[in-house]
Amino acid sequence: MKNTNNTVGSHVAHVAKYAKVRDGRKQPIRGLWERNGRFYAQLKIEDALTGEKKTRRVPLVDKEGKAVQSRAEAVAEMERLRVKRTDGDLPVLRRTPVFNAYADTYLKFIRSGAKKLSTVKKEEDTLKLWTKKIGFLRLDQIKRVHINRFIEARLEAKKNPRTVNLDVISLRQVLKRAIADGWIQRLPTEGLRPLKTKTVKRQLITPADLEKLCTTAFEAKSNEDGKDVPLTKNATQFVDFIRFLAYSGARRNEALAMRWDDVDFDRKQITIGARGDTKNSKCRTVDFNSKLEAHLLDLHKRMRKVSDFLFPSPRRGKEDASAKTFKESLWLVRERAKLPHFTFHDCRHHFISMAVMSGVDFMTIASWVGHQDGGVLIGKVYGHLANEHKKAMAEKLSFEPTAPAAAPVTAPVTEAKP
Protein backbone atom coordinates (compact mmCIF):
# COMPACT_ATOMS: atom_id res chain seq x y z
CA MET A 1 0.00 0.00 0.00
CA LYS A 2 1.27 3.42 -0.95
CA ASN A 3 2.38 5.62 1.93
CA THR A 4 0.46 8.92 1.79
CA ASN A 5 1.96 10.38 4.94
CA ASN A 6 5.52 10.87 3.58
CA THR A 7 6.86 8.57 6.32
CA VAL A 8 10.51 7.70 6.50
CA GLY A 9 10.91 4.75 8.84
CA SER A 10 9.06 5.73 12.00
CA HIS A 11 9.41 9.51 11.34
CA VAL A 12 6.91 11.68 9.50
CA ALA A 13 8.33 14.29 7.08
CA HIS A 14 6.35 17.52 7.30
CA VAL A 15 6.53 19.77 4.24
CA ALA A 16 6.58 23.43 5.27
CA LYS A 17 3.78 25.45 3.78
CA TYR A 18 3.62 29.11 2.81
CA ALA A 19 1.78 31.25 5.36
CA LYS A 20 0.39 34.74 4.90
CA VAL A 21 2.27 37.45 6.75
CA ARG A 22 0.05 39.67 8.87
CA ASP A 23 0.49 43.24 10.03
CA GLY A 24 0.15 44.59 13.57
CA ARG A 25 -3.64 44.48 13.32
CA LYS A 26 -3.57 40.81 12.35
CA GLN A 27 -4.56 41.69 8.76
CA PRO A 28 -2.82 39.78 5.92
CA ILE A 29 -0.30 41.86 3.97
CA ARG A 30 -1.15 41.54 0.29
CA GLY A 31 1.44 39.52 -1.63
CA LEU A 32 3.73 38.78 1.34
CA TRP A 33 4.31 35.21 2.45
CA GLU A 34 6.58 33.37 4.88
CA ARG A 35 8.03 29.87 4.96
CA ASN A 36 10.71 28.39 7.19
CA GLY A 37 11.50 31.83 8.58
CA ARG A 38 12.03 33.40 5.13
CA PHE A 39 9.91 36.09 3.51
CA TYR A 40 8.59 35.81 -0.05
CA ALA A 41 6.86 38.27 -2.38
CA GLN A 42 4.15 36.94 -4.65
CA LEU A 43 4.48 38.67 -8.03
CA LYS A 44 3.07 38.18 -11.50
CA ILE A 45 6.10 38.22 -13.79
CA GLU A 46 6.38 38.22 -17.57
CA ASP A 47 8.97 35.86 -19.03
CA ALA A 48 11.39 37.94 -21.12
CA LEU A 49 11.79 35.14 -23.67
CA THR A 50 8.25 33.76 -24.06
CA GLY A 51 6.17 36.77 -22.97
CA GLU A 52 4.11 34.45 -20.76
CA LYS A 53 3.01 35.83 -17.39
CA LYS A 54 3.32 33.61 -14.36
CA THR A 55 2.75 34.11 -10.64
CA ARG A 56 5.85 33.38 -8.59
CA ARG A 57 6.90 33.63 -5.00
CA VAL A 58 10.25 35.38 -4.91
CA PRO A 59 12.58 35.16 -1.88
CA LEU A 60 13.25 38.64 -0.52
CA VAL A 61 16.87 39.65 -0.02
CA ASP A 62 18.64 42.90 0.79
CA LYS A 63 21.15 44.76 -1.40
CA GLU A 64 23.92 42.43 -0.23
CA GLY A 65 21.94 39.35 -1.26
CA LYS A 66 21.12 38.28 2.30
CA ALA A 67 17.63 37.25 3.35
CA VAL A 68 15.67 40.07 4.98
CA GLN A 69 15.19 39.54 8.71
CA SER A 70 12.12 41.56 9.66
CA ARG A 71 8.56 42.10 8.44
CA ALA A 72 9.26 45.80 7.83
CA GLU A 73 12.29 45.00 5.68
CA ALA A 74 10.25 42.43 3.76
CA VAL A 75 7.48 44.95 3.01
CA ALA A 76 10.03 47.55 1.84
CA GLU A 77 11.82 45.06 -0.40
CA MET A 78 8.55 43.80 -1.88
CA GLU A 79 7.50 47.36 -2.78
CA ARG A 80 10.90 47.95 -4.35
CA LEU A 81 10.43 44.88 -6.56
CA ARG A 82 6.98 46.09 -7.60
CA VAL A 83 8.40 49.45 -8.65
CA LYS A 84 11.15 47.73 -10.63
CA ARG A 85 8.55 45.53 -12.32
CA THR A 86 6.56 48.61 -13.36
CA ASP A 87 9.72 50.28 -14.69
CA GLY A 88 10.72 47.15 -16.59
CA ASP A 89 13.84 46.90 -14.45
CA LEU A 90 13.00 43.73 -12.57
CA PRO A 91 15.98 41.42 -12.15
CA VAL A 92 15.85 37.90 -13.54
CA LEU A 93 14.04 35.91 -10.87
CA ARG A 94 14.58 32.43 -12.25
CA ARG A 95 17.69 30.35 -11.71
CA THR A 96 20.39 31.27 -14.20
CA PRO A 97 22.93 28.85 -15.72
CA VAL A 98 26.40 28.53 -14.30
CA PHE A 99 29.04 30.36 -16.31
CA ASN A 100 30.85 27.15 -17.30
CA ALA A 101 27.78 25.70 -19.04
CA TYR A 102 26.71 28.97 -20.61
CA ALA A 103 30.21 29.63 -21.99
CA ASP A 104 30.01 26.24 -23.76
CA THR A 105 26.66 27.27 -25.26
CA TYR A 106 28.17 30.54 -26.44
CA LEU A 107 31.13 28.76 -28.05
CA LYS A 108 28.81 26.37 -29.89
CA PHE A 109 27.01 29.39 -31.30
CA ILE A 110 30.12 31.16 -32.61
CA ARG A 111 31.54 27.89 -33.96
CA SER A 112 28.44 27.56 -36.15
CA GLY A 113 29.78 30.29 -38.41
CA ALA A 114 29.01 33.42 -36.39
CA LYS A 115 32.73 34.18 -36.18
CA LYS A 116 35.92 33.24 -38.00
CA LEU A 117 37.74 30.11 -36.87
CA SER A 118 40.80 32.10 -35.81
CA THR A 119 38.61 34.33 -33.62
CA VAL A 120 36.82 31.31 -32.16
CA LYS A 121 40.14 29.75 -31.18
CA LYS A 122 41.26 32.91 -29.37
CA GLU A 123 37.97 33.17 -27.46
CA GLU A 124 38.10 29.49 -26.52
CA ASP A 125 41.53 29.94 -24.96
CA THR A 126 40.46 33.06 -23.07
CA LEU A 127 37.18 31.57 -21.80
CA LYS A 128 39.11 28.60 -20.39
CA LEU A 129 40.90 31.09 -18.13
CA TRP A 130 37.63 32.67 -17.04
CA THR A 131 36.06 29.26 -16.42
CA LYS A 132 38.86 28.39 -13.99
CA LYS A 133 38.05 31.52 -11.97
CA ILE A 134 34.27 31.93 -12.20
CA GLY A 135 33.03 28.76 -13.91
CA PHE A 136 31.13 27.66 -10.78
CA LEU A 137 29.20 30.94 -10.47
CA ARG A 138 25.75 31.48 -11.92
CA LEU A 139 25.47 34.29 -14.45
CA ASP A 140 23.64 36.61 -12.07
CA GLN A 141 26.24 35.97 -9.36
CA ILE A 142 29.17 37.35 -11.36
CA LYS A 143 30.15 40.63 -9.74
CA ARG A 144 32.75 43.29 -10.33
CA VAL A 145 34.86 41.87 -7.50
CA HIS A 146 35.30 38.58 -9.39
CA ILE A 147 36.41 40.43 -12.51
CA ASN A 148 38.82 42.58 -10.51
CA ARG A 149 40.38 39.49 -8.91
CA PHE A 150 40.85 37.95 -12.36
CA ILE A 151 42.54 41.09 -13.68
CA GLU A 152 44.84 41.27 -10.65
CA ALA A 153 45.85 37.62 -11.10
CA ARG A 154 46.65 38.16 -14.78
CA LEU A 155 48.77 41.21 -14.02
CA GLU A 156 50.62 39.32 -11.27
CA ALA A 157 51.39 36.69 -13.93
CA LYS A 158 53.15 39.50 -15.88
CA LYS A 159 50.59 39.57 -18.66
CA ASN A 160 50.52 42.63 -20.92
CA PRO A 161 47.73 45.09 -19.97
CA ARG A 162 46.49 44.98 -23.57
CA THR A 163 46.15 41.18 -23.31
CA VAL A 164 44.18 41.57 -20.07
CA ASN A 165 41.87 44.10 -21.74
CA LEU A 166 41.20 41.57 -24.49
CA ASP A 167 40.42 38.95 -21.82
CA VAL A 168 37.73 41.24 -20.38
CA ILE A 169 36.31 41.84 -23.86
CA SER A 170 35.89 38.08 -24.35
CA LEU A 171 33.97 37.84 -21.07
CA ARG A 172 31.82 40.80 -22.07
CA GLN A 173 30.87 39.07 -25.34
CA VAL A 174 29.50 36.08 -23.42
CA LEU A 175 27.58 38.25 -20.96
CA LYS A 176 26.13 40.40 -23.75
CA ARG A 177 24.62 37.26 -25.21
CA ALA A 178 23.30 36.38 -21.74
CA ILE A 179 21.49 39.73 -21.73
CA ALA A 180 20.02 38.97 -25.16
CA ASP A 181 18.87 35.58 -23.85
CA GLY A 182 17.15 37.24 -20.89
CA TRP A 183 19.38 35.75 -18.20
CA ILE A 184 20.83 38.98 -16.84
CA GLN A 185 19.93 42.65 -17.21
CA ARG A 186 23.23 44.44 -16.79
CA LEU A 187 26.87 43.77 -17.45
CA PRO A 188 29.05 43.50 -14.34
CA THR A 189 31.71 45.24 -16.44
CA GLU A 190 29.67 48.46 -16.71
CA GLY A 191 31.91 51.43 -15.98
CA LEU A 192 35.03 49.27 -15.93
CA ARG A 193 37.81 51.22 -17.57
CA PRO A 194 40.40 49.35 -19.62
CA LEU A 195 43.91 49.19 -18.28
CA LYS A 196 46.29 51.82 -19.57
CA THR A 197 48.57 50.48 -22.24
CA LYS A 198 51.74 51.84 -23.75
CA THR A 199 51.63 52.09 -27.50
CA VAL A 200 55.12 51.53 -28.80
CA LYS A 201 55.73 53.47 -31.97
CA ARG A 202 56.23 50.98 -34.75
CA GLN A 203 59.47 51.43 -36.64
CA LEU A 204 58.59 51.77 -40.30
CA ILE A 205 60.30 49.36 -42.63
CA THR A 206 62.21 51.14 -45.38
CA PRO A 207 62.66 49.83 -48.93
CA ALA A 208 66.28 49.15 -47.98
CA ASP A 209 65.18 47.00 -45.00
CA LEU A 210 62.84 45.06 -47.25
CA GLU A 211 65.57 44.38 -49.79
CA LYS A 212 67.96 43.35 -47.04
CA LEU A 213 65.45 40.83 -45.71
CA CYS A 214 64.85 39.36 -49.16
CA THR A 215 68.57 39.16 -49.96
CA THR A 216 69.36 37.52 -46.61
CA ALA A 217 66.91 34.68 -47.31
CA PHE A 218 69.26 33.45 -50.06
CA GLU A 219 72.44 33.72 -48.01
CA ALA A 220 74.31 30.46 -47.59
CA LYS A 221 74.62 28.38 -44.47
CA SER A 222 76.41 25.11 -43.90
CA ASN A 223 74.30 21.98 -43.62
CA GLU A 224 75.15 18.77 -41.76
CA ASP A 225 77.40 17.66 -44.63
CA GLY A 226 79.30 20.93 -44.59
CA LYS A 227 77.78 22.06 -47.87
CA ASP A 228 76.45 25.57 -48.42
CA VAL A 229 72.66 25.76 -48.78
CA PRO A 230 70.24 28.70 -48.67
CA LEU A 231 69.39 29.98 -45.20
CA THR A 232 65.86 28.66 -45.57
CA LYS A 233 64.65 25.81 -47.80
CA ASN A 234 61.77 27.83 -49.22
CA ALA A 235 63.74 31.04 -49.74
CA THR A 236 62.20 31.79 -53.15
CA GLN A 237 58.61 31.34 -52.01
CA PHE A 238 59.29 33.20 -48.77
CA VAL A 239 60.66 36.21 -50.67
CA ASP A 240 57.73 36.06 -53.13
CA PHE A 241 55.37 36.15 -50.14
CA ILE A 242 57.15 39.07 -48.45
CA ARG A 243 57.15 41.14 -51.63
CA PHE A 244 53.47 40.43 -52.26
CA LEU A 245 52.58 41.62 -48.75
CA ALA A 246 54.67 44.77 -49.13
CA TYR A 247 53.28 45.66 -52.58
CA SER A 248 49.60 44.85 -51.91
CA GLY A 249 49.00 45.70 -48.24
CA ALA A 250 47.36 42.30 -47.70
CA ARG A 251 47.32 40.67 -44.29
CA ARG A 252 49.25 37.43 -43.82
CA ASN A 253 46.28 35.03 -43.93
CA GLU A 254 44.59 37.01 -46.70
CA ALA A 255 47.68 36.55 -48.88
CA LEU A 256 47.94 32.82 -48.14
CA ALA A 257 44.36 32.36 -49.37
CA MET A 258 44.95 34.19 -52.67
CA ARG A 259 44.31 32.25 -55.88
CA TRP A 260 45.13 33.08 -59.47
CA ASP A 261 41.42 33.51 -60.12
CA ASP A 262 41.64 36.55 -57.82
CA VAL A 263 44.18 38.23 -60.12
CA ASP A 264 42.81 40.19 -63.07
CA PHE A 265 45.68 41.22 -65.34
CA ASP A 266 43.31 42.87 -67.83
CA ARG A 267 41.78 45.22 -65.27
CA LYS A 268 45.02 45.38 -63.37
CA GLN A 269 43.41 44.50 -60.03
CA ILE A 270 43.51 41.79 -57.41
CA THR A 271 40.55 40.77 -55.26
CA ILE A 272 41.41 40.05 -51.64
CA GLY A 273 38.92 37.94 -49.70
CA ALA A 274 36.87 36.75 -52.67
CA ARG A 275 35.61 33.88 -50.50
CA GLY A 276 34.92 36.05 -47.43
CA ASP A 277 38.23 35.13 -45.80
CA THR A 278 39.24 38.63 -44.68
CA LYS A 279 39.27 40.07 -41.17
CA ASN A 280 35.83 41.67 -41.63
CA SER A 281 34.60 38.98 -44.06
CA LYS A 282 34.31 41.56 -46.87
CA CYS A 283 36.22 41.36 -50.13
CA ARG A 284 38.10 44.31 -51.59
CA THR A 285 40.03 45.17 -54.71
CA VAL A 286 43.56 46.52 -54.87
CA ASP A 287 44.67 48.26 -58.03
CA PHE A 288 48.02 47.35 -59.49
CA ASN A 289 50.97 49.55 -58.74
CA SER A 290 54.09 49.09 -60.82
CA LYS A 291 55.84 46.93 -58.22
CA LEU A 292 52.80 44.70 -57.64
CA GLU A 293 52.16 44.22 -61.34
CA ALA A 294 55.77 43.31 -62.14
CA HIS A 295 55.89 40.91 -59.19
CA LEU A 296 52.66 39.17 -60.15
CA LEU A 297 53.70 38.82 -63.80
CA ASP A 298 56.95 37.19 -62.73
CA LEU A 299 55.20 34.95 -60.20
CA HIS A 300 52.56 33.98 -62.78
CA LYS A 301 55.18 32.76 -65.23
CA ARG A 302 56.77 30.54 -62.59
CA MET A 303 53.79 29.30 -60.57
CA ARG A 304 50.54 29.41 -62.59
CA LYS A 305 50.82 25.83 -63.84
CA VAL A 306 51.93 24.56 -60.45
CA SER A 307 48.85 25.45 -58.37
CA ASP A 308 45.66 27.48 -58.24
CA PHE A 309 47.16 29.27 -55.24
CA LEU A 310 49.73 32.04 -55.46
CA PHE A 311 51.60 30.42 -52.59
CA PRO A 312 50.97 26.66 -52.73
CA SER A 313 51.89 24.25 -50.00
CA PRO A 314 55.03 22.23 -50.77
CA ARG A 315 53.32 19.23 -49.11
CA ARG A 316 49.89 19.48 -50.74
CA GLY A 317 49.99 15.99 -52.23
CA LYS A 318 47.31 15.20 -54.82
CA GLU A 319 44.92 17.84 -53.48
CA ASP A 320 45.79 21.47 -54.17
CA ALA A 321 46.28 23.55 -51.03
CA SER A 322 47.88 26.79 -49.96
CA ALA A 323 50.96 27.17 -47.78
CA LYS A 324 50.12 27.26 -44.07
CA THR A 325 52.77 29.57 -42.71
CA PHE A 326 56.18 31.11 -43.30
CA LYS A 327 56.87 31.82 -39.63
CA GLU A 328 59.93 29.60 -39.26
CA SER A 329 61.53 31.15 -42.33
CA LEU A 330 60.80 34.63 -41.01
CA TRP A 331 62.42 33.87 -37.65
CA LEU A 332 65.59 32.60 -39.33
CA VAL A 333 65.89 35.40 -41.87
CA ARG A 334 65.13 38.35 -39.63
CA GLU A 335 67.75 37.29 -37.10
CA ARG A 336 70.42 36.98 -39.78
CA ALA A 337 69.34 40.31 -41.31
CA LYS A 338 69.52 41.99 -37.87
CA LEU A 339 65.86 42.98 -38.07
CA PRO A 340 64.72 40.99 -35.00
CA HIS A 341 61.41 42.78 -34.58
CA PHE A 342 60.27 42.49 -38.18
CA THR A 343 56.82 40.90 -38.60
CA PHE A 344 54.62 40.08 -41.58
CA HIS A 345 52.34 42.92 -40.51
CA ASP A 346 55.22 45.34 -41.00
CA CYS A 347 54.86 44.73 -44.75
CA ARG A 348 51.30 46.05 -44.56
CA HIS A 349 52.53 49.13 -42.70
CA HIS A 350 55.24 49.54 -45.34
CA PHE A 351 52.61 49.55 -48.09
CA ILE A 352 50.47 52.13 -46.31
CA SER A 353 53.40 54.40 -45.49
CA MET A 354 54.66 54.30 -49.09
CA ALA A 355 51.16 55.12 -50.34
CA VAL A 356 50.86 58.06 -47.93
CA MET A 357 54.24 59.47 -48.89
CA SER A 358 53.36 59.06 -52.57
CA GLY A 359 50.45 61.43 -52.06
CA VAL A 360 47.62 58.88 -52.38
CA ASP A 361 44.50 60.12 -50.58
CA PHE A 362 43.59 58.39 -47.34
CA MET A 363 40.18 57.18 -48.55
CA THR A 364 41.75 55.31 -51.47
CA ILE A 365 44.38 53.74 -49.21
CA ALA A 366 41.64 52.69 -46.77
CA SER A 367 39.73 50.94 -49.56
CA TRP A 368 42.88 49.09 -50.62
CA VAL A 369 43.72 47.80 -47.13
CA GLY A 370 40.13 47.09 -46.04
CA HIS A 371 39.52 49.83 -43.46
CA GLN A 372 35.84 50.67 -43.12
CA ASP A 373 36.32 54.18 -41.70
CA GLY A 374 37.02 55.98 -44.94
CA GLY A 375 40.62 56.75 -44.04
CA VAL A 376 40.26 58.04 -40.47
CA LEU A 377 42.69 55.49 -39.04
CA ILE A 378 45.13 56.06 -41.88
CA GLY A 379 45.18 59.77 -41.11
CA LYS A 380 45.50 59.16 -37.38
CA VAL A 381 48.41 56.73 -37.61
CA TYR A 382 50.18 57.89 -40.74
CA GLY A 383 49.19 61.56 -40.98
CA HIS A 384 52.62 62.65 -39.75
CA LEU A 385 54.19 60.98 -42.80
CA ALA A 386 52.03 63.07 -45.11
CA ASN A 387 53.04 66.21 -43.23
CA GLU A 388 56.73 65.30 -43.37
CA HIS A 389 56.42 64.60 -47.08
CA LYS A 390 54.75 67.98 -47.65
CA LYS A 391 57.53 69.72 -45.73
CA ALA A 392 60.15 67.95 -47.82
CA MET A 393 58.36 69.08 -50.99
CA ALA A 394 58.09 72.63 -49.64
CA GLU A 395 61.83 72.77 -49.18
CA LYS A 396 62.23 72.13 -52.90
CA LEU A 397 60.09 75.14 -53.74
CA SER A 398 62.23 78.07 -54.94
CA PHE A 399 61.28 81.72 -55.48
CA GLU A 400 64.69 82.77 -56.84
CA PRO A 401 64.48 84.35 -60.31
CA THR A 402 66.06 82.37 -63.06
CA ALA A 403 68.27 84.08 -65.68
CA PRO A 404 66.55 84.38 -69.06
CA ALA A 405 67.99 82.23 -71.75
CA ALA A 406 70.55 84.10 -73.88
CA ALA A 407 69.41 84.89 -77.39
CA PRO A 408 71.22 82.88 -80.02
CA VAL A 409 74.02 84.80 -81.76
CA THR A 410 73.44 85.06 -85.50
CA ALA A 411 75.36 86.77 -88.24
CA PRO A 412 73.90 90.12 -89.37
CA VAL A 413 71.77 89.94 -92.48
CA THR A 414 72.90 92.27 -95.30
CA GLU A 415 71.00 92.96 -98.42
CA ALA A 416 72.70 92.14 -101.69
CA LYS A 417 73.52 95.15 -103.85
CA PRO A 418 71.77 95.25 -107.15
Within 304-343, residue ranges assigned H as helices are 327-336
Instruction: Report the top-level CATH class of 207-393.
Output: mainly alpha
| Cβ-proximal residues to 221 (8 Å cutoff; 6+ apart), any chain | 228, 229, 230, 231
d(CA 28, CA 31): 9
Distances in whole angstroms, Cα of residue 7 to Cα of each of 12, 14, 98: 4, 9, 35
The pLDDT tens digits for 391-413 are: 887 888 888 776 665 666 565 55
The pLDDT tens digits for 130-141 are: 999 999 999 988
Percent over 70 (pLDDT), the chain: 86
Biggest CA pair distance of the chain:
162
pLDDT for the residue numbered 8 = 47
The torsion angle over the Cα atoms of residues 93, 99, 105 and 110, rounded to 10 degrees, is: 120
pLDDT for the residue numbered 132 = 95
Q: What is the mean pLDDT of the chain?
A: 85
pLDDT for the residue numbered 2 = 47
pLDDT for the residue numbered 390 = 79
For the chain, what are the domain ranges? Answer: 16-86, 99-180, 207-393
CATH topology of domain 99-180: DNA polymerase; domain 1 (1.10.150)
**By the 8 A CB rule, do 382 and 356 touch?**
yes
The pLDDT tens digits for 186-197 are: 899 999 999 998
Contacts 24+ apart (CB under 8 A), 48-55: 48/92, 48/182, 49/181, 49/182
The pLDDT tens digits for 8-28 are: 454 555 567 889 989 888 899
Q: Kindly give the parts of the chain with pLDDT less than 50.
A: 1-2, 7-8, 10, 418
How many CB atoms sit inside 10 A of residue 57's CB? 16
- Let me know the angle formed at the C-alpha of 313 by 311 and 316, rounded to the nearest 5 degrees: 140
